[in-house]
Amino acid sequence: MTIKELFSSLHLGPLDHSGDQAGTLAVTSPIDGSLIGHVKMDSPQSVAEKVGKAVEAFAIWRQMPGPQRGELVRLLGEELRAHKDALGRLVSVENGKILEEGKGEVQEMIDICDFAVGLSRQLYGLTIASERPGHAMRENWQPLGPVGVISAFNFPVAVWSWNTALALVCGDPVLWKPSEKTPFTALACQALFLRAAAKFGAAPDGLSQIVIGAADIGEALVDDPRVPLISATGSCAMGRKVAPRVASRFGRCLLELGGNNAIIVAPSADLDLAVRAIVFGAVGTAGQRCTSTRRLIIHRSIYDDLMPRLKAAFERVTVGNPLEGALVGPLIDEAALNAMDKALERARAEGGVVEGGGRVLADRYPDAFYARPAIVEMPAQKGVMMDETFAPILYAVKYDDFDAAIALQNAVSQGLSSALFSNDVREAELYLSATGSDCGIANINIGTSGAEIGGAFGGEKETGGGRESGSDAWRVYMRRQTSTVNYSTQLPLAQGISFEL
């Protein structure tokens, strides 16, 4: 199916963008390097205008009752259901992930819409016992204002929906700056949103808007004091720039940054399960998930059993065109391939033994960048293992003592996802205790990637501390207000303070 046919199967017409012609962005497919099309870019000035529109939309949308806001999100979910295959395919074409994962990403969008519809009737506050007679205290949750969403290339559509479905039911408009590597999927989402909004009939203009461009356009959003919340997903380097800028204007940040995720494999582990989970975690999405498995910490007693099985599985993995049934698609661009090559070179220099890696399919796809996944046996956890390389590289080290394994796992600067394979209940509970994994996600007998939307998603340390998606992540999109009502004829002061005039 050509891109044109794909667009028309989404019934989107020619995908256009109302940037102010500050320039155009040429977008290519990582599958074969072919040109998908050009998109007009925004300028700081057009971003400011769009923020103004979002502010106007907020004044209307915040007055709409939550369950009615939920109805718009229900309609958005319906559009996504109807176009799951075509949008999933567009994700694969623009981002390079395999079709199965492209469609899985759209399913995630549908799931979060369902979640948000239910949530629209459950934006609960508390009633709180007041210490003063004749007083009632409670907590109200109010809409916050326009939310700026900055997203990464690797989940080009799901991250928008995690934020937008919740923001909309919470009463907030959204301004989305997608990755400059994946603007067409963003325009497709916006077109589906506009169709849902037309069916809904009462959505104000400017409730959902897109801004297109690179870091400078992201910064225009980040610096605008009319945007009280910036939800930014991407590298730790990006978060390091964004967070202080937002803090300097006392804005709120929801940061979803890099990961360096480990799996500990203990002596009692079910190795069949472990192999499947490790391989999916390490090579799935060509190692380009924030939750990809990058480090393995294996008990010495099972190391020689597990490693050959993993190496055999790595060899069986098919690398190729993600639309034609391969399990591993291309890396996003040449810079990603160079970063992978460099990391493997460094691993060798640090005493690692590398199997796999290296560019493949260069003859068939000279303008695309496919690599064989690599598995690297390291003498110790050090150097290159401490960084996130956004590519399918899995490092393995041995451990003897369970506490030392947890310490190794926690020794990196990121704290996103983690997993333990063990059938020992003491180990499992210790891993999930205060002295266990320090990550936002800690799993037992499943891998590090592939989270469900029902839980709060995010991580600690340099991963940024943000939580989005399920559980009570909605609260960051709202303004908490504590209110006390005096229904007595007296005016007692808190803490029993006497202040007689």
Judged by the rule CB under 6 A, the positions of this chain that interact with ligand NAD are 150-155, 177, 179-180, 214-215, 218-219, 222, 233-235, 238, 241-242, 256-259, 290, 388, 390, 416, 463
Q: Decide whether 120 or 233 has the Cβ nearer to ligand NAD.
A: 233
Distance of alpha carbon 151 from alpha carbon 175, whole angstroms: 11
40: Cβ contacts below 8 Å, ≥ 6 apart:
16, 17, 18, 19, 20, 21, 22, 23, 24, 25, 212
Q: Decide whether 50 or 177 has the Cβ nearer to ligand NAD.
A: 177
- Could you tell me the smallest distance in angstroms from the CB atom of residue 338 to ligand NAD? 14
Q: Decide whether 299 or 461 has the Cβ nearer to ligand NAD.
A: 461
Tokens for 316, please give them: 């069986």
Residues in the chain: 501
Distance of alpha carbon 190 from alpha carbon 79, whole angstroms: 11
DSSP string spanning 86-115?
HHHHHHHHHH---HHHHHHHHHHHHHHHHH
Q: Decide whether 237 or 404 has the Cβ nearer to ligand NAD.
A: 237
Q: Cβ distance 177 to 213 under 8 Å?
A: yes
Distance of alpha carbon 34 from alpha carbon 334, whole angstroms: 14
Q: Decide whether 206 or 465 has the Cβ nearer to ligand NAD.
A: 465
Q: Decide whether 123 or 227 has the Cβ nearer to ligand NAD.
A: 227
Distance of alpha carbon 55 from alpha carbon 51, whole angstroms: 6
- Could you tell me the smallest distance in angstroms from the CB atom of residue 288 to ligand NAD? 7
Give the angle 485-490-494 at the CA atoms, nearest 5°: 65
- Could you tell me the smallest distance in angstroms from the CB atom of residue 234 to ligand NAD? 3
User: Directed axis angle between helix 158-170 and helix 66-82, to 10°?
Assistant: 160
- Could you tell me the smallest distance in angstroms from the CB atom of residue 242 to ligand NAD? 5
Strand order in the sheet with 147-150: 208-210, 174-177, 147-150, 229-233, 252-256
Distance of alpha carbon 90 from alpha carbon 267, whole angstroms: 43
Distance of alpha carbon 270 from alpha carbon 447, whole angstroms: 13
Distance of alpha carbon 2 from alpha carbon 36, whole angstroms: 10
> How many Cβ atoms from other residues are within 10 Å of residue 477's Cβ?
28
Catalytic-labelled residue, pool 79, 94, 219, 256 = 256
Is 94 assigned a catalytic role? no
List, by residue number, the catalytic residues.
256
